Amino acid sequence: MAAELHDGPIQGLTRLGLSLERSQLRLRRGQLEEGRRLLTDAQAALSGEVQSLRRIMATLRPPVLEERGLVSALCDYVEVVRQEAGISCTLAARLPDRLPEDHEIVLYRVAQEALTNVARHARASSARVELTETAETVVLEVHDDGVGFDPAAEQQQGGLDHFGLAGMRERVELAGGTWTVWSRPGAGTVLTASLPKALVAA
Amino acid sequence: MTATGPAAPAPRVLLVDDNHGFRNELRLLLEDCGIEVVAEGENGQEAVELATRTDADVVLMDLRMPVMDGLQAARALRDRVPSLPVIILSAYEDPALKSEADAANAYAYLVKGCSGGLVLDTIEQAWASRSGRASPN
């Protein structure tokens, strides 16, 4: 998410600010036509940035998550991965009831981040998302058959932050859950996030 | 922002950022203000190579870039061309990154979103510090 904001709206809006300064400079110098042209371009660029922020907002909390719950939202996202990344991606969910809103957001974001990693880095041909529950916990697992990696080496090279793993773990632990990653070079990756059914006080 | 006339002496800038659109916009603004951009690069490695091949007075460089980031490049430049001031222009308003930039001997750490006027003033000051000129501000 940070990278998406860095590469998208932050760059775009900063660029827009510079463009407005150029138009101001032109107008001050009496170059009215050029100043107006820059302002028109800036207006169009601003619309583009608003659209870009709307897209990011939709991925933060998609309307489907609010209206139809985690299973439907994951179902939609798995379909997006299937179509856009060309990966055979499936969802197996056994969850009779809606979860607390905070839990749904945490599990949705973890699944989304994990599948983004699969699409970008894993070179996998298939991925599987599983959502199950026990009496005490809800468990999300994301499996892929990609190239895998050595988690110990990753930890040594600069922590788990490289693939956004540290952020995922932090998100789950803040909600009172546990997060693990299993992977081996050539043997794929399994991410597991478990949350207690009872809400954890913030 | 103060516009510099084309005939007045002005700093020559090496501009490094992996975002082509942003780099282009910044170059246009600098040029509108009479500052010459002598070369452009899109990662830290190119910054180090270009700094040793061009006659830039100041390096204006992004922080997060592929191949070699701005902090690594600033450290390499500190060792190879210690007299060349480096201004980091980063999207991250992070004291830890600013400290790292200070440790790499960066002249200044600016956060993207600051005014173009501040960027221009900082370039002028960095140039003045290098050439021993009195700062215009």
As a dihedral over the C-alpha atoms of residue B121, residue B127, residue B128, residue B130, rounded to 10 degrees, the angle is 150
Flag if A15 and B25 touch (Cβ within 8 Å).
yes
Show me where the domains of chain A are located.
2-60, 68-196
Q: Output the pTM of the full model.
A: 0.63
Q: What is the pLDDT along chain A (202 residues), one digit of tens a residue?
A: 667 787 788 889 999 999 999 999 999 999 999 999 999 999 999 988 888 888 787 777 777 888 888 999 999 999 988 888 889 999 999 887 888 888 898 999 899 889 988 888 888 899 999 999 988 899 999 999 998 888 777 666 554 455 678 888 888 998 899 999 998 898 999 999 999 987 544 3
Flag if B64 and A6 touch (Cβ within 8 Å).
yes
CA of B81, closest CA in chain A: separation in Å?
Answer: 28
Check whether B134 has a pLDDT greater than 70. no
Q: Which B residues, 62 through 81, put their C-beta within 8 Å of a C-beta on chain A?
A: 64
Find chain B residues with C-beta within 8 A of A26's C-beta: 32
CATH superfamily of B12-130: Response regulator (3.40.50.2300)
Q: How many CB atoms within 10 Å of residue A151?
A: 16
Q: Is B33 on the interface with A (CB under 8 A)?
A: yes
In whole angstroms, how far apart are CA A112 and each of A1, A35, A50, B82? 11, 43, 23, 45
Q: Is A48 on the interface with B (CB under 8 A)?
A: no
Flag if A11 and B19 touch (Cβ within 8 Å).
yes
User: In sequence order, what are the residues at sequence separation of 6 or more whose Cβ sits closer than 8 angstroms to the Cβ of residue B90?
Assistant: B62, B63, B64, B70, B97, B101, B109, B110, B111, B112
Which ipTM did the prediction report? 0.73
Q: Is B3 on the interface with A (CB under 8 A)?
A: yes
Average confidence (pLDDT) over B53-82: 93
Q: Which CATH architecture has domain A68-196?
A: 2-Layer Sandwich (3.30)
Question: Looking at chain B, which residue has its C-alpha nearest residue A9?
Answer: B91
Show me where the domains of chain B are located.
12-130
Edge-first strand listing for the sheet containing B86-90: B36-41, B12-16, B58-61, B86-90, B108-111
Check whether B5 has a pLDDT greater than 60. no
Average confidence (pLDDT) over B55-73: 93
- Predicted local confidence at residue B127, as pLDDT: 94
Find chain B residues with C-beta within 8 A of A25's C-beta: 1, 3, 29, 32-33
Q: Is A21 on the interface with B (CB under 8 A)?
A: yes
Q: Is A6 on the interface with B (CB under 8 A)?
A: yes
